[in-house]
């Protein structure tokens, strides 16, 4: 059973050894990530110059549960738009929140725009 859902920013913090990354790294094997957020991580790796083989290897070696973005999460992420619009949250952000809400576990993120959001999810900011 997953104990947390990772936003792309949380997994990126691990990969880049950024502040808060160690906290997330210690919880990887008990965490999940949406396929939408995993796409964001791979995209960032490629944008930063990683080869497709390296990006694939990173994903395969990271001990986090990957959860498909299904119809129900699609609907929930769409509904979350109205309560997150003022903060500028992306589809990926809302995908993470939808998965965390479904699983009833905290969402881990480095994105400070999430602070104080009231969307039925325990949002935990990582890093300073």
Q: Give the tens place of pLDDT for each residue, 43-55.
A: 999 999 999 999 9
Report which of 112, 85, 114 is spatially closest to residue 100, judged by C-alpha positions.
Answer: 114
Q: Quick check: 1 pLDDT over 90? A: no
For 4-125, which CATH class? alpha beta
**Contact status, residue 110 vs residue 125, Cβ threshold 8 Å:** yes
- At 81-118, the pLDDT tens digits run 999 999 999 999 999 999 999 999 999 999 999 999 99
Q: Quick check: 124 pLDDT over 80? A: yes
Q: Tell me the backbone φ, ψ of residue 96, rounded to 5 degrees.
A: -65, -45
pTM of the model: 0.94
Q: Tell me the backbone φ, ψ of residue 31, rounded to 5 degrees.
A: -120, 160
The number of residues making up the chain comes to 128
């Amino acid at each position: 059973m997953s104990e947390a859902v990772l936003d792309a920013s949380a997994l990126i913090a691990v990969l880049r050894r950024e502040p808060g990354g160690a906290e997330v790294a210690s919880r990887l094997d008990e965490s999940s990530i949406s396929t939408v957020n995993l796409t964001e991580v791979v995209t960032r790796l490629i944008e930063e110059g990683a080869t497709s083989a390296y990006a694939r290897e990173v994903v395969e070696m990271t001990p986090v549960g990957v959860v498909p973005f299904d119809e129900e999460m699609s609907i929930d992420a769409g509904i979350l738009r109205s309560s997150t619009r003022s903060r500028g949250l992306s589809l990926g952000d809302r995908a993470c929140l939808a998965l965390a809400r479904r699983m009833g576990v905290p969402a881990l993120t480095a994105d400070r725009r999430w602070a104080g959001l009231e969307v039925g999810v325990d949002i935990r900011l990582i890093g300073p």
